[in-house]
Amino acid sequence: MKTISVSIIGFGAVGQGVAKVLVDKKEYLENLGLDFKVVAVADSRTAAIDENGVDLNAVLSRKQDEGVVGSEKLTGLEIIETIDHDVVVETTPTNIVTGGVGLQNMLAAFKHGRDVVTSNKGPLAMKYGELMEAASEGGSNFKYEATVGGAMPVLNLAKDVLAGNSITNVEGIFNGTCNYILTRMMEEHASYEQMLAEAQELGYAETDPTYDVEGIDTACKLVILANCVFGMNATHEDVTVSGITRITPEALLLAQNEGYVIKLIGEVNDSRINVAPKLVPIDHPLAVGGSLNVASVQTDLSGPITVTGRGAGSVETASAILSDMISIYRD
């Protein structure tokens, strides 16, 4: 059995999802010869630390009941810098202006030779080159499937599963909030404002939905795809972006009468990175409804390979993190 010591930095929806799947999949992981021992958990104010393994069920209950993970005052960054462990699961909030605390955490992890698995797209969309260089200098593994499409496997699909193929284009729906709003506008012949309000009520949209509906969140994911799959050194300034705020129910109805739906499509290839609402034939694989994500990877040997799945959710996103953790240590 290989024991891998882990910190979980950020204990919101995704961090808690990771804790839950590590508890639920303990036996499954042991059958793979892997024992992930969480030695530290941090939220924004507190930490729980135990070099023999933190009791994850107790930490989950405490977070639920008291809003904190523990009573220690160490910050996530201090944990990364001072506690000896193998892998940092970085699940703090996304900041696409500076890269935020996530960027500092990842750079510190690499400086100390730790591996990093993350769902936090901010640092990758802002400082991809710097992070790759730091990971390489630290001799660290760096995996980030969860940053693009949550549970939907697209980065590892394009990089690993389809190895041997040249990828010529990736296009898809990478924002569940926009997909939900457009789907419901079409179903109800309702306005953008009405369906945004519904999405907010149901928790599919943030109180400030700007990043989602203006296409900025999709643009960040395309930047990660461009850099990871196409070997570019792109930033969000290289993406042409338009969002969904000006789409009307009348436009959706016209499209529907001609056999189309309107979707916010992100597309990346060697020559362009683009986010825009597009007409998609109603029976096309990209025409998925509700809050689903979808990605179609165009390859030279296999033609198009399309995957669809949940782009968000606590355990769903944790599944991508767990899969990255397994892929680092299984061999």
Ligand X SMILES: NC(=O)c1ccc[n+]([C@@H]2O[C@H](COP(=O)([O-])OP(=O)(O)OC[C@H]3O[C@@H](n4cnc5c(N)ncnc54)[C@H](OP(=O)(O)O)[C@@H]3O)[C@@H](O)[C@H]2O)c1
Which residues of the shown chain bind ligand X in the complex (CB under 6 A)?
Answer: 9-15, 42-45, 75-76, 91-94, 101, 119-121, 146, 150, 312-313, 317
Question: Please, what is the minimum distance in Å from the beta carbon of residue 282 to ligand X?
Answer: 28
Question: Distance between CA atoms of 243 and 264, rounded to whole angstroms?
Answer: 7
Question: Please, what is the minimum distance in Å from the beta carbon of residue 122 to ligand X?
Answer: 6
Active-site residue identified among 121, 221, 263, 278: 221
Which one, 114 or 121, has the nearer CB to ligand X?
121
Q: Furthest-apart CA pair in the chain: how many Å? A: 63
Which one, 149 or 247, has the nearer CB to ligand X?
149
Comparing every residue's Cβ against ligand X, the nearest one is 12
221 is catalytic: yes
Is residue 171 classed exposed, middle or buried when 0-12, 13-18 and 19+ CB atoms within 10 A define those classes?
buried
Question: Please, what is the minimum distance in Å from the beta carbon of residue 11 to ligand X?
Answer: 4
Which one, 29 or 101, has the nearer CB to ligand X?
101
Is residue 4 classed exposed, middle or buried when 0-12, 13-18 and 19+ CB atoms within 10 A define those classes?
middle
Question: Distance between CA atoms of 266 and 245, rounded to whole angstroms?
Answer: 16
CA neighbor of 225 nearest in space, from 174, 165, 290? 174
Which one, 104 or 165, has the nearer CB to ligand X?
104
Residues in the chain: 331
Q: Which two tokens stand for residue 17?
A: 């999802």
Question: Distance between CA atoms of 67 and 21, rounded to whole angstroms?
Answer: 20
Question: Please, what is the minimum distance in Å from the beta carbon of residue 257 to ligand X?
Answer: 35
In order of 44, 151, 201, 252, 328, the CA distances from 190 in angstroms are 39, 29, 16, 10, 47
Question: Please, what is the minimum distance in Å from the beta carbon of residue 12 to ligand X?
Answer: 2
Which one, 10 or 266, has the nearer CB to ligand X?
10
Residues catalogued as catalytic: 221
